[in-house]
Amino acid sequence: MADDDDFHGTHPASPRPDAVPVRWAEVQNRPLPARVRGYTCECLSMVFEDCRAGGQGFIRRYDRSVFPWAIAESPRIRVGDAEALWRQLINGEAR
């Protein structure tokens, strides 16, 4: 029988006091299509996706504590920089 923990994804660390702020931009309508490279656990009210589109990377954030969900995106940046930002979010080094 599977353990409940077997179905959980990555849980990001809580943001540290010195975490770098991300310039989140609210998505007004539907988010544009993107290839999702990684995501955080669906059991949390704040879910992040590591996205790629048009040769660039960005992070998409879903705040599911409100209705309708608030969707925001980081700036679109070089893929290597987006990978670094993803690691910062997961490690609590960005908020």
Angle at 34 between CA 11 and CA 93, to 5 degrees: 35
| CA distance linking residue 85 with residue 82, whole number of Å | 5
Residue 7 has pLDDT above 90, yes or no: no
Q: Which residue has the higher pLDDT, 6 or 88?
A: 88
**The pLDDT of residue 8 is above 90:** no
The 10s digit of each residue's pLDDT in 44-54 is 999 999 999 99
Q: Token pair of 4, please?
A: 């409940």
Asked if 59 contacts 89 with a C-beta cutoff of 8 angstroms, the reply is yes
Question: What does DSSP assign to residue 83?
Answer: H
Q: What is the pTM of this model?
A: 0.89
18: Cα separation from own chain's centroid: 19
- 13-71 per-position pLDDT tens digit: 999 999 999 999 999 988 999 999 999 999 999 999 999 999 999 999 999 999 999 99
